[in-house]
Amino acid sequence: MDYTPEQIRQWDRDYVWHPFTPMKDYDEQDPLIIESGDGVRLKDIDGNWYYDGVSSVWLNVHGHHVSEINQAIQDQLQKIAHSTILGQGNVPVTLLARKLNNVTPSAITRFFFSDSGASAVEVALKMAIQFWANQGNSRKTRILGFTTNYHGDTMGAMAVAPDPLFHWPFMASLPQHPRAPYPDCYRCPLNLRYPECRLACADLVEEAIRDKQEVLAAVIIEPVQGAGGIIPTPPGFLSRMRALCDEYQVLFIADEVATGVGRTGKYWAIEHDEVTPDILCIGKGITGGYLPLSVTAATEAIYQQFYCAAKDRKALYHGHSYAGNQLGARAAVANLDLIESTQLITHVEEMARTIEPEIEALRDLPYVGDVRQKGLMIGVELSKDPKTRTPFPYARQAGRIIQEIARAKGMILRPIGNVVIFMPPLASTADELRAMTAILRGSLEEGQSRLSQEEEA
């Protein structure tokens, strides 16, 4: 393919509608257009290199251009790129399902394939509602979600995590589901402190579940809230949720699209609380960040409620054309093999500990309100006044100021509102992580004057 950087820039402006992007703001910037990548870095069309400080939106595992995964995809291409798994099988997806059976909690035994995190969530919601309907209980049609959680941008996923800021045109179209306060310790809904609070916030959730138990099919939760600002659930909260779900006969859905496959220093974030969900949503890192593939994993008890002949009409009638794509499945197998052979989960745990002092030290900076870390999932919350925990107004786009500075210093970040998110590729070495955290600190330091100037303006 022949093109010049200028042509690509122009064609990008002329034809591409970027996801989750206010296009006027985008057009006012010098666009960043990536041409290649190697290890933990990306190269743009002008030849500039950047650290991939957000793992290409939280999915990269071993870095870019990884020979083992490249080779696996090339080998697969020699055989076939895609054939459907609706009513028939394929080899890579079978091998992947078997592998997943080994790395997920032992009670999880069945793996349903789709192509994005949002579709993994849609499937989970439908599985949960139909699980009860198949048993003759058609009242259980509601899902309890948590405030400020995020589950994807399709209608069902939005419905369990509606956000008036982004979803305002759809609010009236979405089915109504109940919500409980997420255990956000920085902004505790009860103004208490962990651990003295003894998880009083879980009592609020219990009330919500008890109130709605007749109509609740499931509870859905992010074990560490991602897009809502990197907020880990306090220890013990998830196990309490599990117990409540058992007590009130409600299914437990863990959305591990962002946290799964090692991101938090365990294979699954639910392991921090030794919890087994009924349904586990997996996406992003499952293919190492190579190809779109996602999984809704379920226990045998769930699967058995759908096990039937056509005449019984209890099957899960859901499927995407590219479900179980061979190239994606083959990449995922290579990714999981590499996680095992490089002992990557232990590496993430070690690296998280290695950079923790530098991350914690960011608290000393004037506009840093809070710093949160779970494994290599890190959020730095900017605050207009850290003492009173006052946020910068959304319109200030405080995080974007830091993003721009970091880019000029050679690292790509993608903030969400006031939270600067730092999610390096999981295989990053200690030296690479030190270089990245130095850029993060440098950007926050340099950003101070801009934040204060704009403050005065």
Residue 433: which of 357, 371, 375, 351 has the closest Cα?
351
Cβ proximity to ligand PMP, 44 vs 222, nearer residue: 222
For the bound state, the minimum distance from the C-beta of residue 118 to ligand PMP, rounded and expressed in Å, comes to: 3
Selected from 37, 63, 92, 117, the binder of ligand PMP by CB under 6 A is 117
**Residue range at the interface with ligand PMP (CB under 6 A); choices 2-10, 68-76, 253-261, 334-342:** 253-261
**Residue range at the interface with ligand PMP (CB under 6 A); choices 65-73, 100-108, 145-153, 245-253:** 145-153
Sites for ligand PMP among residues 193-222 (CB under 6 A): 222
Cβ proximity to ligand PMP, 123 vs 202, nearer residue: 123
| Binding flag, residue 148, ligand PMP (CB under 6 A) | no
Selected from 258, 275, 352, 439, the binder of ligand PMP by CB under 6 A is 258
Orientation angle between helical segments 344-360 and 326-341, nearest 10 degrees: 70
Between CA 190 and CA 199 the distance in angstroms is: 10
| Binding flag, residue 143, ligand PMP (CB under 6 A) | no
| Binding flag, residue 152, ligand PMP (CB under 6 A) | yes
| Binding flag, residue 224, ligand PMP (CB under 6 A) | no
**Residue range at the interface with ligand PMP (CB under 6 A); choices 76-84, 122-130, 251-259, 401-409:** 251-259
For the bound state, the minimum distance from the C-beta of residue 387 to ligand PMP, rounded and expressed in Å, comes to: 31
* Residue whose pair of structure tokens reads 């095992």 in the numeric block: 340
Q: Is the dihedral of CA 312, 122, 373, 188 positive or negative?
A: negative
Between CA 409 and CA 429 the distance in angstroms is: 19
Between CA 269 and CA 103 the distance in angstroms is: 13
Selected from 146, 150, 267, 367, the binder of ligand PMP by CB under 6 A is 150
Q: What angle (nearest 5°) sits at the alpha carbon of residue 55, between those of residues 50 and 56?
A: 80
Between CA 60 and CA 423 the distance in angstroms is: 9
**Token pair listed for 120:** 């993994």
Residue 194: which of 231, 151, 163, 158 has the closest Cα?
231
Q: Does residue 175 have a cis peptide bond before it, meaning omega lies within 30 degrees of 0?
A: no
Q: Which residue is nearest to ligand PMP (CB)?
A: 117
**Residue range at the interface with ligand PMP (CB under 6 A); choices 37-45, 150-158, 392-400, 438-446:** 150-158
- In one-letter notation, the amino acid at residue 240 is R
Cβ proximity to ligand PMP, 45 vs 121, nearer residue: 121
- DSSP one-letter code for 235: T
| Binding flag, residue 278, ligand PMP (CB under 6 A) | no
Are 234 and 205 in contact, with CB atoms under 8 Å apart?
A: no
Q: Give me the residues that bind ligand PMP (CB under 6 A), please.
A: 116-118, 121, 150-152, 222, 226-227, 255, 257-258, 283
